[in-house]
Structure 1
Amino acid sequence: MTSAGTATTRLREQGFELPAVPAARTGSYEQFRQVGTIIHVAGQLPTIDGDLLARGLLGADVDIALGQRLARIAAVNCLAVGAAAVGSLDRLRLVQMLVFVASTPDFGDHATVADGATRLLLDVLGEDGAHARTAIGVAGLPRNSPVEIQMICTWSPTP
């Protein structure tokens, strides 16, 4: 259950602030694309001020606890993009989250890593943070990141 207050307040209670939305790092893409009331948030890495917090593979270089922390940070970066798209974190409603986990072939705890992000989203957004989710193991991610998260959101005209 979420505590009282705004989503931004609950995010702070989790130890996070919404970062500024960075420009797309490479390539010709946008950080989000809105179609009607649906917002597609481009994949976000676990970065703070542009610095990637860890590199490597789950199951070799990165343990599950760190993977969950990285997933939380990538989710916060997605929230920042979504909030920028709709004008307020309190207006954001999650629909789906895709969690990409760079891992060794024998690693099987992708969903456990993704749970770090899911718990944060539910704590911050309550029912509006509930989402369908896919956790996918991949051989590699941009900048050798262990985790990347993409979201699909919608929004409410009033918070």
Structure 2
Amino acid sequence: MIEIHAKTSAANTGSASDRLHTLGLALPDLRGNPYYVHHRTVDSSIYISGQLPYQDGRLLGQGIVGRDVELETARELARHAALNALAAAVQAVGELDRVRIVQMLVFVASTPDFGEQSNVANAASDLLIEVLGENGRHARTAIGVAGLPLNSPVEIQMVCTAV
């Protein structure tokens, strides 16, 4: 609990873009897809398509968490997927400081006995709070699944709104 408060306090200084830069991160360019869009806006809600942990056009990991992929690796992959989802949200609203996360769904390809999907999801939640502060707090579901596209260990879907 103390760790979250420390991140929230740090997240209350400067702009979201400044905080992202301070973390050594940048929003990626998302590649287009002929089958779906990265976001769809309906009224004030922005629906973000499921994002995989891509970086520079390359999937950063494959396999099943608890068998092929260690917990810490899965957490890092979740952060990358969340960063990609933030990039989609910025495409929709124009700038990072206007993004508020409403809900995040974290899918973790994991063994039936893994049971730490929430721990994987916490890494993505931490990133959102570090970057967006209170606008990064969200409702969340972490789900263990048998498999994900391209054998990715993690996929993140979000609902956002503009502020």
User: Please, what TM-score do these two structures have when normalized by structure 1?
Assistant: 0.94
Identity of aligned residues (%): 55
Aligned counterpart, 2:3: none
Aligned counterpart, 1:63: 70
Taking the TM superposition and a 5 Å limit, the aligned residue runs for 1:120-159 are 120-156=127-163
Task: Report deviation, 1:14.
Answer: 1.8
Which ranges of 4 or more aligned residues in structure 1 deviate by more than 6 Å?
Answer: none
Aligned counterpart, 1:101: 108
Partner of 1:150: helix, strand, or coil? strand
C-alpha contact (below 8 Å) 1:21/1:84 kept by paired residues: no
- The answer to which structure has the higher helix fraction is 2
Task: Report deviation, 1:21.
Answer: 2.0
Distance 2:127 2:38 in 1: 21
Structure 1 unaligned blocks of 5 or more? none
Partner of 1:43: helix, strand, or coil? strand
Aligned counterpart, 1:41: 48
- Of 8, 17, 21 in structure 1, the residue corresponding to residue 26 of structure 2 is 17
Task: Report deviation, 1:13.
Answer: 1.7
Task: Give the aligned residue type for 1:16.
Answer: L
Q: Number of paired residues? A: 154
Q: Does 1:50 align with 2:79?
A: no
Aligned counterpart, 2:6: none
Task: Give the aligned residue type for 1:7.
Answer: A
Task: Report deviation, 1:146.
Answer: 0.3
Structure 2 unaligned blocks of 5 or more? 1-8
